[in-house]
Every structure is written in C-alpha cells, then in structure tokens.
C-alpha cells in the first residue's frame, strides 16, 4: 500500500466508531488527516495523536454539521490549513429507530439534512480543488438496504435519507468521472458493537456481522489508486446480515 504524503483526507464524525477506524486506516495512504468531531474533542484528539504516531500529520476540526453552511465552512478550514482536500469521507449521519406512526416532520427533515444535504454541500465544496488537480475520492457512508423498495417500519426516515444519498452518489459519480474524481458509497450492515439498523426482535446471533475495520478497509480501497475504475458503486459491507 503506497502512501502519498501530498494528499489530505477529511473524515466527518471521526472521533469514534466507524469514523475513527476509517481515519486510522486512511492514515496509511495520505500525509495529512483531518479528524472532524462535534462533541467529543478528547476522543478526536486521541485519534489524531494515534495518527501522528504513524508519522502522519493530523489535526482535529470541530463543526456542528446540523446546517449546510457548516459543511462548507469545515471544508474551507481544512483547505486553509493544508491547501487541499483529496479524499472526503462523509461518515457523519445520525441514525433513528422509531415506529413510522410516531415519526414527526422534524424527524424527516433532520435526517434528510444531516445525512444528505450536508454531504451534498461538502461535496460541492471539495469539487473545485479536486477538478483542478484532476484527482479526487469521495466516499459516502450509507445503509446496507439503501435503494431497496421494501418496507422499513422502524427506520423509514433513515432508510429514505440513505437511499437519497445513494442517488446523490451515483449522480455526482456520473458528472465527475471526466475530472478524475470517483464517488462511491460504502454501506455497512449490522456492525459488531454498533447501533442496530434493523427492526427490534430480529435475531443476529446466527449471522456473520461486519466489524468497523471491515468498513474502514472498504473505504481505504475505494480511496486508492487501484480503485480508479470504480465509481458510482455501492459497496455493501454486511457479512451475511440480511442475506
């Protein structure tokens, strides 16, 4: 695995969970890693410190990604610090388990804005630089059942938002390929130690579940030069969950 010290990676929601694993894994590929966080500064600093021990520069960037302008501002701050963003991983995206009849308009609006609109604004913010350099990797974190036209009685607003994110991924992939930019999605299933993106009562004990490092490996591959011919792909990392 080659490391390009000139490249900068930005991972949202990188203080813990999947974001943390992705940030650590991408540190094997780039020279600088931007660790985004909102509330957990101490954890974000721990991630950055671990990356620094690998000989890679890392900084933490705080942002409340509840408004579109915050995403644009975050990209601007990273570019001001390091001059570029070559790899963008839109990992941030709140999850909600709630029976359909109990959902309210605010649930739908919040999940759509934080899972889709923020990703769109950050993508728009990094595209000018990527186009100028003729190289870029954009990877959105999805949901393993995104795009399936099936009932989602407990997670419908979330599933709908991630399906919209999948459509966004494929659309931007189609427009940016000519600029050397790939845009893909990695969609985790039920991950060991994570939240439960499934209907309560379903058993997972007999299933092969994914691990955070499995998701990070998939993101790392899509961020590599070896994956230059892959764009508009939804890579499902779910083991045998829902198979």
Q: What is the pLDDT of residue 234?
A: 96
Of 2 and 153, the one with more pLDDT: 153
CA 51-183-88 angle, 5° bins: 30
Give the active site residues.
158
Pair 208, 241: CB distance under 8 Å: yes
How far apart CA 47 and CA 21 sit, in angstroms, is 9
189 band by pLDDT with thresholds 50, 70 and 90: confident
Go through the domains of the chain in sequence order and give each one's CATH number: 4-237 (3.40.50.720)
pLDDT > 50? residue 138: yes
Percentage, residues of the chain above pLDDT 90: 79
pLDDT > 60? residue 123: yes
Mean pLDDT of the chain: 91
Percentage, residues of the chain above pLDDT 70: 89
Q: What is the pLDDT of residue 191?
A: 67
Average confidence (pLDDT) over 188-193: 71
For residue 83, the SS3 value is: coil
């Amino acid at each position: 695995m080659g490391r390009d010290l000139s490249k900068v990676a930005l991972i949202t929601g990188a203080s813990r969970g999947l974001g943390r694993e992705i940030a650590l894994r991408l540190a094997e590929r780039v020279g600088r890693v931007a660790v985004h966080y909102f509330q957990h500064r101490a954890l974000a600093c721990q991630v950055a410190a671990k990356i620094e021990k690998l000989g890679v520069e890392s900084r933490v960037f705080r942002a409340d990604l509840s408004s579109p302008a915050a995403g644009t501002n975050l990209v601007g701050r990273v570019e001001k610090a390091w001059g570029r963003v070559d790899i963008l991983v839109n990992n941030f995206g709140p999850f909600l388990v709630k029976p359909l009849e109990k959902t309210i308009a605010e649930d739908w609006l919040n999940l759509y804005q934080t899972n889709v609109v923020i990703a769109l604004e950050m993508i728009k913010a990094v595209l000018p630089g990527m186009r100028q350099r003729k190289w870029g990797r954009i990877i959105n974190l999805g949901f393993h059942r995104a795009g399936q036209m099936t009932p989602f009685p407990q997670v419908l607003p979330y599933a709908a938002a991630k399906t919209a994110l999948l459509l966004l991924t494929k659309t931007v992939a189609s427009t940016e390929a000519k600029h050397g930019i790939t845009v893909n999605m990695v969609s985790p299933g039920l991950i060991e130690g994570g939240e439960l993106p499934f209907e309560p009562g379903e058993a997972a004990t007999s299933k092969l579940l994914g691990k955070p490092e499995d998701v990070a490996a998939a993101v790392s591959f899509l961020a590599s030069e070896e994956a230059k011919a892959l764009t508009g792909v939804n890579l499902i990392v779910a083991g045998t969950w829902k198979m």
